[in-house]
Chains A and B, each alone.
Chain A
Amino acid sequence: QKEVEQNSGPLSVPEGAIASLNCTYSDRGSQSFFWYRQYSGKSPELIMSIYSNGDKEDGRFTAQLNKASQYVSLLIRDSQPSDSATYLCAVNPGGATNKLIFGTGTLLAVQP
Chain B
Amino acid sequence: DGGITQSPKYLFRKEGQNVTLSCEQNLNHDAMYWYRQDPGQGLRLIYYSQIVNDFQKGDIAEGYSVSREKKESFPLTVTSAQKNPTAFYLCASRAQGGTEAFFGQGTRLTVV
CB–CB A102/B31 < 8 A: no
Provided the pairs A34-B100, A49-B100, A90-B101 are in contact, do residues A100 and B106 lie with their beta carbons within 8 angstroms?
no
User: For chain A residues 15-35, which have a beta carbon within 8 Å of chain B?
Assistant: 31-32, 34
Which residues of the partner chain B approach A92 to less than 8 Å between Cβ atoms?
Answer: 98
Interface residue ranges of B33-79 to A (CB < 8 Å): 33, 35, 40-45, 48, 50, 56, 58
Q: Mark B20-33, 1 if CB is under 8 A from A, else 0.
A: 00000000000101
Q: Does chain B have a CB within 8 A of A69?
A: no
Task: Give the docked Cα–Cα distance between A46 and B103 (Å).
Answer: 9
A101 with B101: CB separation less than 8 A: no
The answer to whether B43 touches A46, judged by C-beta atoms less than 8 angstroms apart, is: no
Are B42 and A104 in touch, CB under 8 angstroms? Answer: yes
The smallest C-beta distance from B87 to any residue of chain A, in angstroms, reads 13
Q: Is B84 an interface residue (CB 8 A)?
A: no
* Whole-angstrom distance between the Cβ of B22 and the nearest chain A Cβ: 15
Partner of A31, one of B35, B41, B43, B98: B98
Chain B residues, Cβ within 8 Å of A43: 90, 103-106
**Nearest B residue to A106, CB-CB:** B42
* Tally of chain A residues near chain B (CB < 8 A): 24
Tell me which residues across on chain B come within 8 A of A60, comparing CB atoms.
none
The interface residues of chain A lying within 8 Å CB-to-CB of B44 are 102
A44-B100 in contact given A99-B58, A100-B33, A100-B94 (Cβ < 8 Å)? no
CA of A6 to CA of B35, assembled, Å: 18
Tell which of A99, A100, A101 has the most Cβ of chain B within 10 Å: A100
B109 at interface, CB cutoff 8 A: no
Q: Inside 8 A of A102's CB, which chain B residues have their CB? A: 35, 42-45
Which of chain A's residues have a CB closer than 8 A to the CB of B40?
8
The verdict on A98 contacting B45 (CB below 8 Å), with A43-B103, A43-B105, A46-B102 known, is no
A–B pairs, 19, beta carbons within 8 Å: A31-B98, A32-B98, A42-B105, A42-B106, A43-B105, A46-B100, A49-B99, A88-B43, A90-B101, A92-B98, A98-B48, A98-B94, A99-B48, A100-B33, A100-B48, A100-B92, A100-B101, A102-B42, A103-B42
